[in-house]
């Protein structure tokens, strides 16, 4: 089963990097997969699933066990905030003040969030630019509506592992600085690494990898 293979690769990457495998959490990205394909993974013990679209998350969730912890990893439009808030335990894509303002209007309990940072070279990737991060962090930490848990980022889609490594290394440095500057905040999550680059991400300090195709491909 592919879930096992991915877990094993995570385990080995952590050991290679001199890290404890328990420091790295696997979020299975289930976008594009019907609920029945998630069930075997649930039965194998997987409880964390991530979706990148609100509508898909909301339509899938009722068909699956209630103790699944759902993460929203895709960019969030302000008009979908109210609908999705009660259904997620972590938002990976807080990337602008207007989104925070909307969460402040709608949240009935503090929402755990990661700030998404743009580390890739591509123009299309979402996220706050590294030099704008501090400003958003100050705003987020002052807000009672959210709990800042860390950062998320996506590396460039490139064949060049050195570039991917550089981008992950930058995100790790931003994350470390954040944790050091605000020791009272519960900063413990660095979400980086997908099917094509999660081993590099783990070597560069990721604490949470978001993996879709590598888990599901063998089941096809």
How far apart are alpha carbons 21 and 24 in whole angstroms? 6
Smallest gap from residue 108 Cβ to ligand PLP (A): 26
Handedness of CA 189, 187, 17, 131 (dihedral sign): positive
Could you say whether residue 29 binds ligand PLP (CB under 6 A)? yes
With binding defined as CB under 6 A, does residue 117 bind ligand PLP? no
Q: How far is the CB of 146 from ligand PLP (least distance, A)?
A: 19
The backbone torsions φ and ψ at residue 128, rounded to the nearest 5 degrees and listed phi first, read -80, 145
Q: Is residue 169 involved in binding ligand PLP (CB under 6 A)? A: no
Q: Which of residues 26, 74, 99, 146 is near ligand PLP by CB under 6 A?
A: 74
Adjacent-strand bridge partners of 20: none
**Euclidean distance between CA atoms 56 and 200, whole angstroms:** 29
The answer to whether residue 205 forms part of the interface with ligand PLP (CB under 6 A) is no
Position among 31, 37, 61, 125 found at the interface with ligand PLP (CB under 6 A): 31
Which one of residues 52, 143, 189, 207 is an interface residue with ligand PLP (CB under 6 A)? 52
115: Cα within 13 Å, side-chain hemisphere: 28
CB of residue 119 vs ligand PLP: minimum separation in angstroms? 13
Please report, as ranges, the residues that interact with ligand PLP according to CB under 6 A.
29, 31, 52, 73-74, 154, 194-196, 210-214
């Amino acid at each position: 089963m592919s879930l096992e293979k991915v877990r094993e690769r995570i385990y080995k990457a952590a050991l290679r990097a001199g890290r404890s495998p328990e420091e790295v959490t696997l979020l299975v990205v289930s976008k594009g997969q019907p609920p029945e394909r998630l069930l075997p993974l649930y039965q194998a013990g997987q409880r964390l699933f991530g979706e990148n679209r609100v509508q898909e998350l909301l339509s899938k969730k009722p068909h699956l066990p209630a103790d699944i912890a759902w993460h929203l990893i895709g960019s969030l439009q302000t008009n979908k905030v109210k609908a999705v808030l009660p259904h997620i335990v972590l938002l990976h894509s807080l990337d602008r003040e207007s989104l925070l303002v909307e969460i402040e209007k709608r949240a009935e309990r503090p929402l755990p969030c990661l700030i998404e940072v743009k580390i890739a070279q591509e123009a299309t990737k979402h996220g706050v630019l590294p030099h704008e991060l501090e400003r958003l962090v100050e705003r987020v930490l002052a807000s009672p509506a959210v709990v800042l848990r860390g950062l998320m980022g996506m590396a460039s889609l490139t064949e060049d592992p050195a570039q991917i490594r550089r981008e992950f290394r930058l995100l790790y440095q931003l994350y470390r600085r954040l944790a050091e500057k605000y020791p009272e905040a519960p900063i413990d999550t660095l979400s980086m690494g997908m099917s094509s680059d999660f081993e590099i991400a783990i070597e560069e300090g990721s604490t949470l990898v978001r993996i879709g195709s590598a888990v599901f491909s063998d089941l096809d």
